[in-house]
Structures are given as structure tokens and as C-alpha cells.
Structure 1
Amino acid sequence: MHLEICIKYGKIIYHWLQSLRESMKNIIHSVVLLSLLAVCIPEVSASPPPAYEGRGLYVSYCQLCHGTGGKGDGPLAKAMKISPADLTTTVRSRSDTILMKIITGEGRQTITGRDRHNLLSDAMPEWKDVFSESQVKSLIAYLRFLGNTKHDLMGDPKVGVQLYQEYCQVCHGVEGDGDGIMTKLMGIMPMDHTNPNVTNPLDNKELVSSILDGKGRFMPAWRGILSQSDVEALVSYIRLLSH
């Protein structure tokens, strides 16, 4: 009787050890694979999203008159006693084609014949010799962001893009659309940061909390690794990814 029990439990222990060995092999295999991925896969950096590049142009050329939030209350406007357009409202009703003509000064209205770049304000300069066509499109993308967003940029997106490439793109993807290299390996579906229908319903505090404290099974907590200002910069960059 004791011999039968010993044989029975001996078989159970044997199979358990075999299973444990297979599990360890899988763990070791995964660790080796991840190490090889980190070493062998070249670092890939996407072109900045249009709204990100447009923000840089806006800060350098437009903010003095139109203000940080685009409401036409910049310090230069006050000093010159001019009234630039409130871009958070006027841009919404205009197509990209008309906005390009307003910014560059090229083209006139078919009805009144008035210069398009003076449609929003008589003091609006022409930028056709300053910006390339791609730069104007990037600037328009940022203007769309100003006109549509409910959320402030709480940090510096220039810092955010670097942090995103270092910590986030492996899962969320180079472009931010949730197709990072780890997604197939782990069978996960990270948030698509390029989809405003996904990101806009979340306020800044919710995004900050998700990054600092993690969310669900696979979103790690970065508290203790990223500072509060780092996370705020990341959130600002994520906002621009969807425009």
C-alpha cells in the first residue's frame, strides 16, 4: 500500500517537474528573445506628427500675436493694439485649402476679391516666403488641434517625443497607433494614441494616472521611473499624436 502511494505521488512529482522544466524553458526562451530584440532590432523613429511640427512653428511665428491658446491675446498684439483672430473658433469653419491661402496670402476670394490672408485680420502677414507647403500643412494641423481640443498641453511635447520613443513605442508603436513590436509577441492591444475618439474622452489627470500607476494587466506603472514633469510632457505629445 505504501509502495503504491509512493509510486503514485512519485509520478505526480515527476510530471510536475517536467512541466516546471518546460515552463522554465519557455521563460528562458522569452528572456533570450527579448534580449535579442533589444540588441538586434534597429531603433526606428517616425517623422513627428504634423501637429507636433506645427506647434513648433506656431510658438516661433504665431504665438506672439495669437497667444499661447490661439485666442488672439498675444503680447505683441496688445503692444501693437491689433486684434488677431481667435483661432479656437474661426479656424473650425474653414477648409484646409482656405486656411493655406490665409496663411500664405496666395489667392483671393472669388466674390469680394479681398486677399484671403486678410480675412481673419487686417494685420495678418503673408507667410508664403517663410513656410514651405509641408510646414503650412503642419501648422494647419496644430490650428485644428487648438480649435478642437478640450485639453491643455500641460508639458513640453519636445521632451515628450523623446520619452515616447524610449518608453512607449515598443508597445504603442512608432506612429502611436498601437502596433508596437511587443504587441504580437505578447498578444496585447495597446491604446491607439492617434485616434482622438480614444484619447479625447480622457482628461489629462486620467492619462497621467494611467502612466504613473499603470492600467489593466499590461500597461506598466512608471511611477519612480518617470517624474511628474516627464509624464506631463508625454501626455502633451500624446495629445498631438491624434491631430
Structure 2
Amino acid sequence: MAQANCNRCHAMESGSLAGAELYEEGRSLFLEKACWGCHTIAGISSASQAPELTDAGGKFTYEYLIESMVEPSANIDNSKMPKFDWIHDEHTVAALATYLKGQQKDRLRSSASAPIGYTKPEVRLAKISEPSEEAGQSLFAGVPFEGSMAKGGCINCHAFRSADGVLAGGSVGPELTYAVRTRGREYVQDHIRNSRMHVADSVMPVFKDYSDAEVESLVEYLATFDYKPIKDTPGHQLFDLFCVSCHGENMDGRGVVAGMLDPLPRDFSKHQFVSAYETRFVDSIRDGVKGTAMPTWKNILSDEDIDKLVAYIKEQSLKDTKKFTRMEVKLPQAGDLERLDYKGKGVELVAGDPGKGFESFQKFCTSCHGKLANGKGPNAYLLEHPLPRNLLNREFLNQVALDDERLYQSILLGVAGTPMPAHDHLKDQTLLDVIAFIRENTTEESE
């Protein structure tokens, strides 16, 4: 605790403060453990993903800071802060808490009022001007590069496999062993800069402080990951290698990284879902699902591997159950007769009206999907897995496979094995209007 107060007089951003070794270690850990990626400390980082910590020591007690790291939901029920693996190391937690306790706006002495001749130390971080694999490895691991600390620490959230298949790293975000091979270099570069370009509700921080050289260095290093499964790997082992971290050991969509993903991974333990949509699985694995964390696996898995994965999912999900059969319905067209024409007047459908669709959406859909259609309605987090779709997610809704007929089927019949109910009590004209409203929000022109 005493070391946390040194900073109130000694304006140290870098260098070494004699007698405050724990504080100094905490300062290095703030960068190494990637805390800077979410939290702002004036002069150190400018993130906006999580509460600012510039005055953490002035606002919070030392005990509160420790509790917030070890059990993030202790004070904030819906906290998105992960429980990192390093929270079990008491020394690491104590060092970080000491450093944060030293962050106080109310200082006894500032550089402006310091004695004549006092020079305020400057932050000395590694300046990476040329992309290199070595610089990328330093950033990924959060370790010094060429003698100076670098802002990094990807390994605290993300795991990777060595060439012989040994897994190392964090269990917060998706494994990165295959990132460049499945997504491509340009996608990964853009994702580091701003993950919401691809996944609207991504909780990954925006690394706007990274230079082009730093982003390219990270991608250079990620591109060296070359682990490949052996040939003739059985389906259950393929699932453990490629699927279990997101979809879970029980296939319930609750893998170790699932809590940090939005939308959540699919729940294959619901046999209704597997029976209803099994014909989509091959395409989803091979080509990925845009707007989600589900990558394309066609550059890693052979067609035979994908078939084995689908067979394994079906075998595990559908055993000891009766097969569920979903109705087949076609998208009605303008000029067709209204399905719910109670008075038999021969009412014909017209093209969907976005304005009327907005009114119907506000009446029937907002409790789950929210008034903004972003999937964050008042009932959303009370529902079973998965949560309602974000209907503003352009990447997801503009997929070729997700046409108007699929939207119509999902609204009319519900989505089997999920909380999305059937809305067959609504007229077809109402459904066409709602679809038109959704499409108007997700076209390129609506940006």
C-alpha cells in the first residue's frame, strides 16, 4: 500500500522508482496483461471498452481493486471483464492492484510544481517502425521488444497451438492457431484495428493505438502458426480440436470462450435444432457464418473431415430422441392470397412496406430484439441460450444464404431449439412488412 502512494509525489511514467518495486512491476503488468487494451490511464492508453482507471486509486480501495480482478462480477453483476488465468497468482494481482491504487488525480506534487531542475520522465515504449515476425511475437506475448516494453498481451485472452499440437495461452477469446489461414491476412489486420467491422457485437477491444507496422507484425507472427491435425482424425477428435472451445464439451454452446462471444455459439444439444437445420451444417463449417465468430474452415479441413464433424454432431445430438421434422413453407409473393384471410375476401399480398414493418416490429418484436432491433431487448438476457439476433448485423443478414424466405420461415415457424417462437398468428402481409423493415436497416445504403 505504501508503494502505491509514491506516485502522488513522483510523477513516474517510466524508468525505475527506487523502493517501489511492486508498483513498478504492476506498471509493467498493466501492459503485459493487456489491461491497456480495455482501460484508459491518461498518458498510457486511450481505450474505451471498460471503465477509465486514471483515478482508480482515488475512487477505489485496494481491496476493491483486488476483488474486481479476482471476481469481476462481485460488484457488477453483468460485468464483461473476463476471469483471467493469472488471477490465481496472488503476487501478480497484488502488483497490479498496487499500481492501480497509485493512479490518483489528486497528487501532492505535480511536474508543474516540482523543484527546479526536475524533469518528468516520459513513457518509454517500444517503437515498432518496421513490421517483423519478432516484433509480432513480442506484441503477442506482451514482453519487451529490443529492451523496451511494448503494448501487447494477446496471449492473455487467446490460445494457440505449437507445431506439435500443444495448446498454450488464455481461454477468453477464440484460439488463433488458424486465424490467418481461415480468415486471411487482410481480415485479421482489420479485425485487430476494429473487430466490429466484422462482428457487430464483438467485445474485443479496438486497438486504435497500434501503428500499421505493429498490426502487420502481429499478422506476420500469427501466420507462422502451422499446426495441422493428422490425417484420418475421427469426428470426436476433430470436434475437440476445432469446436469444443466455443460449442462446449456437451455441445451446448457454452465452451470456455463462449461467454465472450456475441452472438453466442450454436447449441447442438437441442435435437430440434440439429434435426431442423442439419442440411446447413456443411456450408456453415466450410464457409463460416459472417457477422459471427464462426470462421471458414475450408482451408484447414477437408470435405471428408467436415462430413465426419457433421456426422458426429448428429450422432451425439439425435441419439435416444425422435427425429424432429420442420414444416416446409415458401415465401409468399406480391399477388398471392393472404394466408390469414378470415373473411374469405380474397385479399392479395403487396410488396412489404418498411414503414408498416417498423410499426409491427415495435409491437411484436422489441421485448426480445429491442426497440433498436439490436437484439438487446428487456427480455433478452432472461432467455435461454442463444440470445436474440442483432438484426442490425449487416455482415450476418447480407449473407447469400440468409434470403427473405429464410427470414420468413424463421418468423412464421420460429427457430427450432431456441427461444424464438412461431408467429403464425400474424398475417403474411405483416411478416412481409417486417422483413422489408429489417432489410432497409441492413442494406449498404442505410449506413
Indicate the TM-score class for this superposition, using the shorter chain for normalisation. Answer: 0.3 to 0.5
Higher relative contact order (CA 8 A, sep 6+): 1
**Could you tell me the TM-score, scaled by structure 1's length?**
0.39
Q: Which one has a larger percent helix, Structure 1 or Structure 2? A: 1
**Could you tell me the TM-score, scaled by structure 2's length?**
0.22
